[in-house]
Amino acid sequence: MSRLLHISASPRGAASESLAIAESFLDAYREVHGDAVDHFDLWDGTLPAFGPAGAGAKMTVLAGDDPSGDQAAAWRAARAVFERFDSYDRYLFSVPMWNSSVPYVLKQFIDVVSQPGWVFAFDPEKGYSGLLQGKKAAVVYTSAVYGEGRPPAFGRDHQAPFLEGWLRWTGITELSTVEFRPNLATADAETGRRAAHAEARELGKRF
C-alpha cells in the first residue's frame, strides 16, 4: 500500500496558510486512500546539522572510502533521516516563501538527504542521475507578497524552481502543485484562499 509523508516547512502552526492548505489536501487524501499518512515537521528538532563532519563524510564517500569518527556519526545521523524519507513513495511538501526562496530548514533537510548512493548517482562522463524513481510529490506553495505577474519590487520566485529542480534531480518527476499567493496590499484574500483549498482537496482525492 502506498504511504504518504507530509514534510512541512512552516513554523507558524495554526497561523500557517501552507499548513492549512496541506490539511485540506490530506483530509481528502485520507477519504480516498485511508490513514497511511505521516507528518515530518522540519521544525521538531530532530533534523541533524550537516556541517564540517557531514561534509567531510560526503567527500570521503565520494572518494570511495568509509567515514570514521565524527564523520561516521554525522553520516549515520543523515542516513537515518534519508531512510525515513525513502520509506515513503508519495510526498506532500508545504512550503511558505521566505525571502524569495524556501525556509532554511527545508534547505537543511535537502542537504542532509542529498548524498551519493542515496538520492543520486554520479558518473564522470554522464553526470548525475536520480535514484528516487517511481515516487511522486505534491507541493503547496504560499507567499504573502510575491505573485506571478507582479512587478519585481514584489519579489522573485526562487522557491518553486529550487524545490522542483531538486525533486526532478532526485528522480521524482511526477509533480503536482497548489499555490496561494495573495498580495498583502489586497484587503480580501478570501477568494484566492477558498480556491487554493478547493484545488488542494481535488488534488488530494486523485493523488
pLDDT tens string 29-55: 999 998 789 999 999 999 999 999 999
Distance CA 203, CA 207 (A): 6
Question: Average of pLDDT values for 80-84?
Answer: 98
pLDDT over 90 (residue 186): no
68 is in an annotated binding site: no
**Consecutive H or E run containing 21:** helix 17-33
Which of these, 76, 13, 18, lies nearest to 200 by C-alpha position?
18
Architecture of domain 4-206: 3-Layer(aba) Sandwich (3.40)
Q: Assign 185 a pLDDT band (cuts: 50, 70, 90).
A: low
Q: What percent of the chain has pLDDT over 70?
A: 99
pLDDT given at position 58: 94
Mean per-residue pLDDT of the chain: 95
Region of poorest pLDDT, from 14-28, 93-107, 138-152, 161-175: 138-152
The string of pLDDT tens digits covering residues 143-184 is: 999 888 888 999 899 999 999 999 999 999 999 999 999 887
Q: Running DSSP on this structure, what letter comes out for residue 116? A: B
Strand-pair category, 120-123 with 127-130: antiparallel
Cell 507530509, located at residue: 6
User: Which residues have a Cβ under 8 Å from the Cβ of 33 and sit 6 or more positions away?
Assistant: 2, 4, 207
Q: What's residue 49's pLDDT?
A: 94
17 is in an annotated binding site: yes
- CA dist list (Å): 190 to 31, 180, 186, 195, 196: 25, 10, 10, 8, 10
The answer, yes or no, to whether residue 65 has pLDDT greater than 90, is: yes
Residue 16 among known ligand-binding residues: yes
Question: Do residues 57 and 43 lie in contact, with contact meaning Cβ atoms separated by under 8 Å?
Answer: no
- Mean pLDDT along residues 121-144: 95
Q: What is the pLDDT of residue 187?
A: 62
Q: What's the pLDDT at 189?
A: 87
Q: What stretch of H or E contains 95?
A: strand 90-96
Distance between CA atoms of residues 51 and 75, nearest Å: 11
What value does the mean pLDDT take over residues 133-148?
Answer: 94
Over residues 67-94, the mean pLDDT reads 97
